[in-house]
């Protein structure tokens, strides 16, 4: 789901993975997917900006509803409404886009809990080794 064909670019999907992991305070997954997203051209300051305020973050307006949807799904899934999905569609995304974002969010909520439950941590040197991973692997 992070590299298969999708209306969301691979960089956008990696950014969603890093964002959800940041929301969940999973240092390992946030660090790893931030490194991969940065390698794909995502500015390194964007990660903290998104976590601080999606609406004020320097991303195109079209993707902001996707991040707002992912935030609610990650932190308060029972609060999602049709209006949340409609805002994604109104921004120009289709069902596959929303489905891909939901799948990424679900996967990283799961993975973050596995990683945190086993106390897996990373460090800057490890995350740096991930640079070029997408280009090398795929």
Could you please state the CATH topology (level 3) that the domain comprising 10-133 is classified under: AhpD-like (1.20.1290)
DSSP 3-state of 92? coil
**pTM beyond 0.85:** yes
Predicted confidence (pLDDT) per residue in 16-44, tens digit: 999 999 999 999 999 999 999 999 999 98
Q: Are the CB atoms for 93 and 122 separated by under 8 Å? A: no
The better pLDDT of the pair 44, 53 is held by: 53
Nearest to 75, CA basis, from 85, 83, 67: 67
Range from 10-19, 57-66, 101-110, 123-132 carrying the lowest mean pLDDT: 123-132
Distance between CA atoms of residues 82 and 37, nearest Å? 29
pLDDT at position 134 is: 57
The pLDDT-based confidence of 138 (bands split at 50, 70, 90) is very low
User: What is the mean predicted confidence (pLDDT) over 107-127?
Assistant: 91
Region of 57 (left: φ > 0; alpha: ψ -120 to 50; beta: rest) is beta
């Amino acid at each position: 789901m992070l590299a298969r064909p999708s209306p969301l670019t691979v960089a956008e999907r990696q950014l969603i993975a890093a964002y959800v992991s940041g929301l969940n305070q999973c240092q390992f997954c946030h660090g790893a997917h931030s490194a991969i997203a940065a390698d794909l051209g995502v500015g390194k300051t964007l990660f903290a900006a998104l976590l601080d305020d999606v609406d004020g973050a320097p991303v195109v307006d079209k993707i902001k509803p996707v991040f707002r949807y992912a935030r609610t799904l990650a932190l308060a899934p029972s609060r999602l409404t049709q209006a949340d999905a409609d805002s994604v569609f109104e921004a120009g995304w289709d069902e596959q886009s929303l489905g891909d974002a939901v799948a990424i969010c679900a996967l990283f909520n799961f993975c973050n809990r596995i990683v945190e439950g086993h106390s897996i941590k990373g460090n800057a040197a490890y995350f740096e080794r991930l640079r070029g991973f997408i280009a090398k692997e795929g």
